[in-house]
Amino acid sequence: MLKQPLVIIAGPNASGKSELAVKLAKKFNGEIVSADSRQVYKGMDIGTGKVSGKWLRVQHSVSNIFVRHRVLNKRVFVYKNVAHYCIDFVSPKRRFTVTEYQKCAAGAIADIHARGKVPFLVGGTGFYIKAVVDATTFPTVPPQIKLRKKLEKKTTAQLATLLKQKDPRRWRGIDRKNRRRLIRALEIIYVTRKPVPKHDSATPYHLLYLGVRPEDDAVLKMRIAKRLRQRLQSGMVAEVRQLHKKGLSWRRLDELGLEYRYVAQYIRGKCTRKALGVTLEKEIWQYARRQITWFRKEKRIRLVHSEKEAEKQVAVFLSKINTGILQNGGLAAVKYNRVV
């Protein structure tokens, strides 16, 4: 089976990856698959930095050597005339799992390929990206309600310490401030009585893995601060109020992390507006540093610092695909051409 191309645009918060991906998708006849663990949720727009797209009904024409020509009429989330998938479609009242995301992304990528377009997997959730590019198989351990209630009583630091004792390898690779993932890892360990399985699956794609990051950390910190001010001015507090009014509990808002956790605390009178800004800026920067650490461990990643660098990398990659260099002796099923 021929491997198909997949371009990944990854990076920390405020690195500019979303807008860069849109520009690249327009130039190279591409469409975008979101890889953000919170942008899947409806109504969580300002706090997650979700692009301001709209759901439109569009016609998708499918015609290649594998599929007879047919036209599909479907609803698609569109931003700046570029289709986006795995975004803005899940109720925030329920927990969307990485396994569900994996299925969504794999399906979207296959659909994009079937229409002769280039899929761009874009986001900052490294765990989601790895699940897709390495076709990770996750343990089929159902939720353990009693165990979760017991673990929920522990602090985040206590959960991380417990995981370190039970499975040092998983502890080294996990976001230690993400309570949900810590609890899930411990849940798997307690049920299977084994460490969380290591995933080293071969990728089903030909990858171009680009990491977007300013060369200077001071620039990234400045962008984070500026973006946070804009979000607060654009109604982020009102967004959280509305989510709570629609039935999201304070506990669920806390689980959704960062902006939603601290804005919810502000709404409940647990901090001042000034303290909210200071705390959020600090916490978002710390999260960005954890994202950078995650992507630094990814050996396949190529850092780019400008749109021009990224465009050159994509052009070379797709040129190799078209000439068969990356097809293990066979030519690509479709041509992936630049759209000017």
Q: What's residue 329's pLDDT?
A: 34
Indicate whether 272 and 149 sit together in one domain: no
Indicate whether 60 and 172 sit together in one domain: no
Average pLDDT for the chain: 89
Q: Please list, in sequence order, all residues whose beta carbon lies within 8 angstroms of the beta carbon of residue 140, skipping any fewer than 6 positions away.
A: none
Angle at 25 between CA 41 and CA 4, to 5 degrees: 90
Residue 286: pLDDT band by 50, 70, 90 thresholds? Answer: very high
Q: What's the CA gap between 279 and 268, in Å, rounded?
A: 16
- Considering the domain boundaries, does residue 12 fall inside one? yes
Indicate whether 178 and 316 sit together in one domain: no
Indicate whether 9 and 125 sit together in one domain: yes
Residue 47 has pLDDT above 50, yes or no: yes
Q: What's the CA gap between 317 and 337, in Å, rounded?
A: 11
Residue tagged 């020509």 (tokens)? 69
Last residue of a domain, one of 162, 192, 222: 192
- Considering the domain boundaries, does residue 335 fall inside one? no
- Considering the domain boundaries, does residue 70 fall inside one? yes
Last residue of a domain, one of 192, 224, 258: 192
Question: How do residues 69-84 score in pLDDT, each as one tens digit?
Answer: 455 678 999 999 999 9
Q: What's residue 325's pLDDT?
A: 63
Indicate whether 114 and 46 sit together in one domain: yes
Residue 333 has pLDDT above 90, yes or no: no
- Considering the domain boundaries, does residue 119 fall inside one? yes
Question: How do residues 85-102 score in pLDDT, each as one tens digit?
Answer: 999 999 999 989 888 999
Indicate whether 14 and 99 sit together in one domain: yes
- Considering the domain boundaries, does residue 295 fall inside one? yes
Last residue of a domain, one of 154, 169, 192: 192
Residue 336: pLDDT band by 50, 70, 90 thresholds? Answer: very low
Q: Which of 112, 152, 162, 83 is nearest to 7 (CA)?
A: 112
CA distances from 50 to 25, 231, 269, 282 (A): 17, 11, 27, 21
Q: What's residue 78's pLDDT?
A: 97
Residue 197 has pLDDT above 80, yes or no: no
Q: Are 192 and 141 in contact (CB under 8 A)?
A: yes
Indicate whether 25 and 105 sit together in one domain: yes
Output the DSSP codes for 209-274: EEEE--SSHHHHHHHHHHHHHHHHHTTHHHHHHHHHHTT--HHHHHHT-HHHHHHHHHHTTSS-HH
pTM of this structure: 0.82
Question: How do residues 125-155 score in pLDDT, each as one tens digit?
Answer: 999 999 999 988 777 788 788 899 899 999 9
Indicate whether 220 and 165 sit together in one domain: no
Indicate whether 31 and 171 sit together in one domain: no
Indicate whether 171 and 232 sit together in one domain: no
Q: What's residue 22's pLDDT?
A: 98
- Considering the domain boundaries, does residue 339 fall inside one? no
Q: What's residue 199's pLDDT?
A: 61
Q: What's residue 328's pLDDT?
A: 43
Q: What's residue 315's pLDDT?
A: 97
- Considering the domain boundaries, does residue 239 fall inside one? yes
Ranges of beta strands (E only) in 98-169 are: 118-123
Question: How do residues 287-306 score in pLDDT, each as one tens digit?
Answer: 999 999 999 989 999 999 99
Question: What percent of the chain is modeled with pLDDT above 70?
Answer: 89
Q: What's residue 175's pLDDT?
A: 81
- Considering the domain boundaries, does residue 337 fall inside one? no
Q: What's residue 71's pLDDT?
A: 56
What's the domain count of the chain? 2
Q: What's residue 332's pLDDT?
A: 37
Residue 220 has pLDDT above 70, yes or no: yes
Indicate whether 78 and 130 sit together in one domain: yes
Question: How do residues 168-196 score in pLDDT, each as one tens digit?
Answer: 988 887 888 888 889 988 998 998 888 88
Domain that holds residue 45: 4-137+199-323
Q: Domain of 82: which CATH number? A: 3.40.50.300
Indicate whether 187 and 269 sit together in one domain: no
